[in-house]
Each structure stands twice: as structure tokens, then as C-alpha cells.
Structure 1
Amino acid sequence: MITVENLTKRYGAQRAVDDVSFTCEPGTVTGFLGPNGAGKSTTMRMICGLTPPTSGSATVSGVPYRRLGNPGRHVGVLLDASAQHAGRTGRETLALAAMTMGLDTARVPERLARVGLNATAGKRRVRAYSLGMRQRLGLAYAMLGDPAVLILDEPANGLDPEGIFWMRGLLREFADRGGTVLLSSHLLREVEAVADRLVMIGGGRILTQGDKDVLLGAGGTVVRPEDPAAFDALLRRLELTGSRSADGTVLVQSEPAPIARAAAATGVVLLEVRPAGAGGLEEMFLRLTGTTDPTEVTR
């Protein structure tokens, strides 16, 4: 289990992460999403003890990461696949990690094979690996100690479609056995396919979080008014409330027809009226963050 409580990180006057709280339960995959500069990587680095928070706390299985004894046996971390020692072979990389964790190095060939790296690949220097191969090696490293928790930042980078499908199955199997996964990825459709819960961050703050099916199945109507003030007045007359998003749309808990009829009767111009949730995770991401390019979710 991962617990993040009121986590904040300031760099001078700038708040990179601002009062962020969420939990990742055993048996679930949590998709951690946000546009560039949203604070995702900083949050994950604080969870892993690499960046000290200004305030707040983060624990893994009830303990701060830095206080975990032999942390690789409790939590597997993949934050940067390119950080591996380029001069070692894949097999040497895992063997050294196994010795550090007090594990039998005899498990190394099986762990390489589990992530799709055969004996030949295991003997190659990491400098000769493609990005996709480094990602696979990084996953093998993260899972080497049979941890209960995985924290993964963009693990699908460099993988081909078959590799992405394989990774989805690997993470789903891990969670279904009771593991906890925190997954950051710019591949929104893959996150939608594998995640049980979603945490979306923007400007260092939580924009929304909850069960994926609940968030994507939320009812209501998305409206884009030409004159926001006039539309707010209309909502007050209808005794409805609206939640404004970064892209200028308003989510109203009502069916589309009554809103459209009332707007037409009062001369309020609506540029867009549609049911909420119709576009899946990508639509929700764009609406909440105001990002025009859904691939801009990597940091």
C-alpha cells in the first residue's frame, strides 16, 4: 500500500507539488496522470525517498521509504530506465542487485526470461540495449526482490505494441495477486485498459481521483459557453451547479436537453453541449487539464 498525505515540495517560491494526498491499495493498479510539469515525477521521487518533501509525508506499507530495511524486497522502483550502468551486461546488472538484496543469483536467468530477455540478451552490455530492452531490464530489476509494491514512471517507453500488451498483462497479473502498482504513463489508452483507480494532477495539485469506472462513467453534461458569466447566471436560475475545467468547459449534473432549451430561451450562446464521459480517459484528461495534446503527459 502507498499512502501520500498532504505532500508538498517547494523550490524557492515555486510549488512543484502542492498538498497532494492519495492512496494506492493492494490488489489495484493506480494510473498517475498529468501534463508536462504537473508534478508527477517529483511526487514519485518523494515517495521513493529521492527528493525530500517540504511538508507532508509518503509511506510504503506504512513506512517511509528511507526507513525500509532492504527496500528492494518491499518495493520495486523504475523511474529512469536509462540510469542503468551501460558497461554491465543485463545478467550482471541483475546478479549484482540480487547480491545486494541477499538473494540467490540463480534466479537471474528466470527473471530475465520473464521480461522477454533471453540468454543472448542477458550477455549483452546494456549500452547495446534498445530503450525497450532497457525498460524490460528495469522491470526485471524492480521485480527481482518479489516486492509487494511497484512504482513505475513511463515503463512502456520504447516498447512496441506487442511489448505494451505484454506489460499490461504483467502489471494486471501482479495486482491480481494482491500487489500494489503506481503507474505513470503518457499512453492514456493503456492506462485506461489496465488501471483500477486514477489520480490526475495538474499544476502540482490533484485535479481528480477515484475509481476509474466511476470517474469515466460520471453522468452530467459538458457545456462550453460563449459567455461564462451569462451561463453561470443561467445555472443559478435553474438551481444547478457547474464545475469549470481548465479548457473552459463546465460539467453540469443535468441532462443536455433542459440546459439547451433554457439557454435558447434566454439567449445564452452555447458553443458545445454533450454528455459527459463519452470520450473516455483521453476526453477527461483534456477537459480537466486544458492540454491540447494528450501526449504531453510525461512529467
Structure 2
Amino acid sequence: MITVNNLTKRYGRHSAVDDVSFTCPPGTVTGFLGPNGAGKSTTMRMICGLTTPTSGTATIGGVPYRRLSNPGRQIGVLLDASAQHGGRTGREVLSLAAFTMGVRASAVRPALERVGLDATAARRRVRRYSLGMRQRLGLAHALIGDPSVLVLDEPANGLDPEGIFWMRGLLREFADRGGTVLLSSHLLREVEAVADHLVVIGNGRIVAGGSRDELLATSGTLVRAADPAALRDLLDRAGLDAAPATDGGVVVRAPAETIGRAAAEAGLVLLELRPAGPGGLEQLFLELTR
């Protein structure tokens, strides 16, 4: 269980994170979403003891990260795949991590194989790794201690489509076995496919949180009109909040009947009027963080 209570981080007068609270229950994947600069990485660094909060708390199983006796055996962390010694081989990086955590050396080879790094990759210097290979090595590092919690910041960055599909399955399996996953990613469709819960942050504050299905069910109505400018004017006059969708339409926080009646009274031709379904997380994200 990850528990974040009223977490705040200020740099002078600037609040990078402002009174953030959420929980990540065991057996779930929580997608942590927000635009660049929203406070995601700062929050994750505070959870992992790398940044000291101005106020508030973050605990893993009720204990702050810095008080864990052997944190790698309880929480696996991947915040920066490039933060690895380029002169060491993949096997050396993982062997050192295993030694530090008190994990038997025989666990290194299976851990590398689990993330798709073969014997040739294990002997290669990390400086010669692609970004995708570094991500795989970072994930092996996070998993080598057999933790019950994973905190991952953009773990799919640099992976090809096959690698992204593989990682989705690995995280889903980890959670289904009772593990807790906090996942930050800009790949919204992948988050939508694997996450049970969503936490959306904007300008350092939580703007939405809850189960994936609950949030997507309230993502609004997708509308496209023959005259987009007239549609915008109509929505403004009606006081209906709208956000741009990715296909040229808009997502409106109102029932389809309300929008349809207003369009009919104004003589506006609608080309599409339906619940925001496929791609709903992307549309919801744009609406919440614009």
C-alpha cells in the first residue's frame, strides 16, 4: 500500500506539489497522469525518499521510505533509466544491486531473462545500451529484490510496440499476484489498458482521482458539428464546458440530450453526438489538464 497524505513541496514561493493525497491499494495498478511540470516526478521522488517534502507524508506499508531497513526488498523503483553506470555491464549492475539487497547471486540471470535481456546483452556495457534496453535493465533492478510495490516513472519510454505490450503484461501479472504499482506515463492508451485506478495532477494539485471505469464513465459527450465555430458559440452561450478532442470535435461535460436539444433550437447541424468512449482517457486528460 502506498499512502500519500497532504504532500506539499515548495521551492521558494513556487509550489511544485500542493496538498496532494491519494492511495495505491495492493493488487492494483494506479496510473499517475499529468502534463510536463505538473508535479508527477516530484511526488514520486518524495514517495521514494529522494526529495524532502515541505509538509505532508508518503508511506509504503505505513512506513516512510527512508525508515525501511532494506527498501529494495519492499519497493522497486525506476525513476530514471539513464541513472546507471555506463562502464558496467548489465550483469554487473544487477549483481551489485543483488549484493546490496542481500539477494542471492543466482537470481541475477533469471531477472535479466525475465525482462528480455539475453546473455549477450548481459555482457554488454550499459553505455552501449539503447534506451529501451536501459528501461529493461532498470525494471530488472526494480524487481530483483522481489518487492511488493513498484514505483515507475515513464518505464515504457524507448520501448518498441512489442516491448510496450510485454511491459503491460508484466505489470498486470505483478498486480494480479497482489502487488502494488504506481505508474507514470505519457502513453495514455497503454495506461488505460493496464490501470485499475487513475490519479490526474495539474499545476501541482490533484484534479481527478478514482477507478478507471468511474472516471471514463464521466468523461462527457463527444460532439462534432458541420460548423465548428457555431458549435463553440452555442456551447459558450449555454454555459457548457467543452474541451477539444483529438478528431476535430469537442468533449462536453453534459448529457447528449441537452446538447442535442440546444443544437436543434439553434438550427445547428451535428455530425456526431455520442458518449466519449474509445480514447476516452486521452480526451479526459486534455479536458482536466488544459
**What amino acid is aligned across from residue 114 of structure 2 in structure 1?**
R
Kindly state the Cα deviation for residue 230 of structure 1 after the two structures are TM-superposed: 3.8
Find the residue that maps to 2:199 and give its secondary structure: strand
Find the residue that maps to 2:108 and give its secondary structure: helix
Gaps of 5+ in 1: 233-241, 291-299
Contact preservation (8 Å) 1:246, 1:289: no
Task: Name the counterpart of 1:143.
Answer: 143
Q: Deviations over 1:99-140 (max 9, x none)?
A: 111111111011111111111111111111111111000000
Kindly state the Cα deviation for residue 260 of structure 1 after the two structures are TM-superposed: 3.5
After TM superposition, the structure 1 = structure 2 runs for residues 1-299 of structure 1, keeping only pairs within 5 Å, are: 1-218=1-218, 220-221=220-221, 225-226=232-233, 230-232=237-239, 244=241, 250-252=252-254, 255-262=255-262, 265=265, 274-278=273-277, 279-290=279-290
Q: Aligned pair in 2 of structure 1 residues 49, 270: CA closer, same or farther (>3 Å)?
A: farther
Residues 269-278 or 26-35, more deviating: 269-278
Kindly state the Cα deviation for residue 199 of structure 1 after the two structures are TM-superposed: 0.7
Contact preservation (8 Å) 1:91, 1:122: yes
CA distance in 1, matches of 2:13, 2:243: 23
Contact preservation (8 Å) 2:219, 2:284: no
**What amino acid is aligned across from residue 209 of structure 1 in structure 2?**
G
Find the residue that maps to 1:41 and give its secondary structure: helix
Kindly state the Cα deviation for residue 155 of structure 1 after the two structures are TM-superposed: 0.5
Q: Deviations over 1:240-259 (max 9, x none)?
A: xx7x477696513xx32234
Q: Deviations over 1:30-73 (max 9, x none)?
A: 11111111110000001001111111111111111111111000
Structure 1 length normalisation: TM-score?
Answer: 0.85
Q: Aligned pair in 2 of structure 1 residues 92, 245: CA closer, same or farther (>3 Å)?
A: farther
CA distance in 2, matches of 1:277, 1:249: 7
Gaps of 5+ in 2: 224-230, 245-249
CA distance in 1, matches of 2:92, 2:202: 39
Q: Identity over aligned residues, as a percent?
A: 69
CA RMSD of the aligned region, Å?
2.3
CA distance in 2, matches of 1:144, 1:104: 10
Contact preservation (8 Å) 2:5, 2:58: yes
Find the residue that maps to 2:157 and give its secondary structure: coil
Contact preservation (8 Å) 1:218, 1:276: no
Contact preservation (8 Å) 1:149, 1:181: yes
Kindly state the Cα deviation for residue 229 of structure 1 after the two structures are TM-superposed: 6.7
